[in-house]
Structure 1
Amino acid sequence: MRFMMIAVGTFMALGIGCSAQAQDCDSTQVAMNQCASKQYAALDSELNAQYKAQMAFLTSPAKKKALQDAQKKWIAFRDADCAYQVGKREDGGSLWPLAQAQCLTEQTRTRVEQLKAYTACRQEGCPK
């Protein structure tokens, strides 16, 4: 529960949320939850694109399998870590969806940057 309060405060302080679209992301808890969910969905799409780009670059079936295994394990870690940080849905009340989406977003943002780094270093002998 403590993480949720910190997460909500961080969310508001950083101005993270929807852009100036049709929805005011700070108007209600439901709106904040929806905006956080949309932000996570967009970043998850970027994660999938980066993963597919790296898979397409890899030439060795063993490297492809290694990346696939790493990605599956990372997803399991991300989900478990967010479950630890945010707690159970039934214990979190109306803030839980926001905190969960924020945790997933931050974890996913980190992984996107890792995958982008693989792309950026290809000429320097990155995994092939």
Structure 2
Amino acid sequence: MRYMMIAVGMFMALGIGCSAQAEDCDSTQASMNQCASKQYKALDDELNAQYKAQMAYLKTPASKKALQEAQKKWLAFRDADCLYQVGKREDGGSMWPMSQLMCLSDQTKVRVEQLKAFNACRQEGCPR
């Protein structure tokens, strides 16, 4: 529920999710939802790129399977955690999509950084 409480203030104060100043991200709830969707899509694209890069680096079928299983479980956790934090769609009104997308974005940013660290490491002790 914390995303419901802070979402509008963040979008209005920071312009989060706006890719250009010309894009109106805080005039209506629909525009804020659209901006949150664009921000999440960009992060999801980065997540997929980092995941593919790590999969390409891994040497054994076992390590590839381990990453694949970890990623599936992480996705399930992320989605369940955001549902817990934001609540059910039917209880959230018109702000729910934006709040849900902001939560997904926050969680995805963390995973992108984890995968970037794996991709940057490439030394002894890194996942293979």
Question: Is the pair's TM-score, using the shorter chain for normalization, greater than 0.5?
Answer: yes
- In the alignment, does 2:118 pair up with 1:89? no
State the one-letter code of the partner of 1:113: E
CA 1:22–1:3 in 2, change beyond 3 Å: closer, same or farther? closer
Aligned to 1:111: 111
- In the alignment, does 2:83 pair up with 1:69? no
- TM-score, normalised to structure 2's length? 0.93
Task: Give percent identity, aligned residues only.
Answer: 80
State the one-letter code of the partner of 1:3: Y
State the one-letter code of the partner of 2:31: A
What is the deviation of 1:9? 2.5
Aligned to 2:102: 102
State the one-letter code of the partner of 2:54: Q
Aligned to 1:5: 5
Aligned residue for 2:127, secondary structure, equals coil
State the one-letter code of the partner of 1:20: A
CA RMSD, aligned part only?
Answer: 1.4
Aligned to 1:32: 32
Uncovered stretches (5+) of structure 2, i.e. residues with no partner: none
The one-character-per-residue Cα deviations of 1:34-89 (angstroms, maximum 9, x if unpaired) are 00011101110110000000000000111000000000000000000000000000
In the comparison of the two structures, how many residue pairs are matched? 128
CA 1:91–1:80 in 2, change beyond 3 Å: closer, same or farther? same
Q: What is the distance in 2 between the residues matched to 1:11 and 1:26?
A: 6
What is the deviation of 1:123? 2.3
Instruction: Tell me if structure 1 keeps the 8 A contact 2:15–2:25.
Output: no
State the one-letter code of the partner of 2:105: T
State the one-letter code of the partner of 2:88: K
Instruction: Tell me if structure 1 keeps the 8 A contact 2:11–2:26.
Output: no
Aligned to 2:42: 42
Instruction: Tell me if structure 1 keeps the 8 A contact 2:15–2:26.
Output: no
Instruction: Tell me if structure 1 keeps the 8 A contact 2:86–2:99.
Output: yes
What is the deviation of 1:22? 5.1
